[in-house]
Amino acid sequence: MRGSRFRGVSLLGAAAAVLLSASLASADTRSILLTADECDGLSAGEVERLLAIELASALSQDAPPLGVSLACEGTKIRIVAVDPVTDKRLEREIELRQEKGQKDRVVALVVSQLFLTSWAELLLPRPPQIPPPRAPPPPEVVRRVETATRSALVPAAAWDWDVAVLGGARVRSWEAPLFSGWLGVRPAIEVGRLRFFVELAYEEGSRSGPSGTVSVSLATPSLGVGWRAVKRDIFVLDLDLSGGASWVQARGSGASSSFDGGAGSGSVGDVELGVAPGARLGPVEIRLDLSAGYSFPRAVVHAVSENDVTLSGPWGSAGLAVGLAERAR
């Protein structure tokens, strides 16, 4: 390091990652006619919206709407689906004990499976001696439901993604504290309750003393894994573990001509453990990001005489994360 010395500094290697993206199909809910009793923890409007997403590729304003009625009795829900394509009435009774907010998704999936089961018969060849029960549906409608049924037979990717922007304050070097601010971006994918993420962060801070001011900046790419410990209604709680390498640049400014200032660069490794309580508001997630970390090996910046800055050892930070999430289901 020119103009300064790092003791025992080693380079860990920068992390790289691929941003993943996914998209949800959407459909006009006017293609569905849904009626429902008052059910505890069940939103008819949300069921209708999720069902329109599940069957988006099959719905058409040119075809009669799909009929669905829901009747609740305690934890039991009776589902009646009227399929205008095959002219069938399908019924099923299920018992739901899911958490509030999960019932809508389960009911929408069950209803979609009833229609897909009915439409699957269109894929089977009909013996010529058996006439259809009524006039066949329009070819465009048949094509749509056949495509939707074939797609449903292929397992869909059961992961979600989100991209969050983070920022906050951090303190290093507990004996002679160095306070800094940091900003970062964190794309992630979620598989069940597991989250895998990449974080790119930039940190800058300074400390002043009788001999002058030392300014330090760190650029840190890292990889991490998280566990969504709580996922209830709009509330979430994430536990994260990550590791990476920080590229450090330091510069010193003497308080007078009697103190020398210098500049230098180097690297340190970082491990971090975080807890992030937050809330989901539609596609937006807002989380409080609280972290404790450790930098290694021992690294001391001598950018100004008698004003050393220790970058190794424990550190702590607090910040806010605002993310945009896309749910595959």
Amino acid at 199: E
**pLDDT for residue 18:** 28
Mean pLDDT, the chain, as a whole number? 79
Q: Does 18 fall in a domain?
A: no
Residues 285 and 182 in one domain: yes
Distance (Å, whole) CA 105 – CA 110? 9
How much is the pLDDT for 196? 95
Amino acid at 34: L
- So what's the pLDDT on residue 153? 59
DSSP-derived pairing of the beta strands 309-310 and 194-209: unpaired
* Final residue of a structural domain among 108, 131, 152: 152
Mean pLDDT of 242-271: 80
- Give the C-alpha separation, 329 to 14, whole Å: 34
The answer to whether residue 6 is domain-embedded is: no
User: Does a structural domain hold residue 5?
Assistant: no
Q: How many CB atoms lie within 10 A of CB 197?
A: 22
241 and 317 assigned to the same domain:
yes
Q: Based on the domain organization, do 208 and 110 belong to the same domain?
A: no
The domain total for the chain is 2
89-133 pLDDT tens trace: 889 898 877 666 678 888 889 998 888 888 887 777 766 656 655
* In a shared domain, residues 191 and 104: no
Residues 180 and 319 grouped into a single domain = yes
CATH number at residue 47: 3.30.160
pLDDT of residue 218: 94
Shared-domain flag, residues 132 and 213: no
Please state, in angstroms and rounded to a whole number, the distance separating the CA atoms of residues 269 and 171. Answer: 16
Give pLDDT tens digits for 180-198: 999 999 999 988 889 999 9
Find out whether 282 and 193 touch, Cβ atoms under 8 Å.
no
Of 130, 152, 174, the residue that ends a domain is 152
pLDDT confidence of 14, banded at 50, 70, 90?
very low
The answer on 246 and 111 residing in a single domain is no
In degrees and rounded to multiples of 5, residue 146 shows phi and psi of: -65, -45
The candidate with the shortest Cα–Cα distance to 273, out of 320, 225, 309, is: 225
In a domain, 107, yes or no: yes
Same domain, yes or no, for 186 and 270?
A: yes
**1 domain residue, yes or no:** no
Decide if 302 contacts 262 (C-beta within 8 A).
yes
pLDDT tens for 141-172 read 777 777 777 666 555 545 688 999 999 999 98
Regarding whether 260 and 119 lie in a shared domain, the answer is no
Least confident range of 1-15, 119-133, 280-294:
1-15
Residue 173 lies in a domain: yes
Q: Is there a single domain that holds both residue 302 and residue 237?
A: yes
Q: What is the DSSP code string of 200-250?
A: EEEEEEEEEETTEEEEEEEEEEEEEEEEEEEEETTEEEEEEEEEEEEEEEE
Q: From CA 244, how far away is CA 94, in angstroms rounded?
A: 48
Query: Which domain-ending residue is among 152, 179, 201?
Result: 152
Which range of residues forms the domain containing residue 257? Answer: 159-326
Range 161-190 burial, b when 16+ CB lie within 10 A, else e? bbbbebebebebbeeeebebebebbbbbbb
H or E stretch including 143?
A: helix 139-152
170 and 258 both lie in a single domain: yes
Global pTM reads 0.54
Is the pLDDT score of 85 beyond 90?
Answer: no
Query: Looking at the structure, do residues 220 and 296 belong to the same domain, yes or no?
Result: yes
User: Two tokens at 248?
Assistant: 């450090």
Please give the helix or strand (H or E) that residue 181 lies within, else none. strand 178-191
Instruction: Determine, yes or no, domain membership for 14.
Output: no
> Higher-confidence residue: 252 or 267?
267
> Is 9 part of any domain?
no
Res 20: pLDDT: 27
Judged by average pLDDT, the poorest of 52-66, 117-131, 240-254 is: 117-131
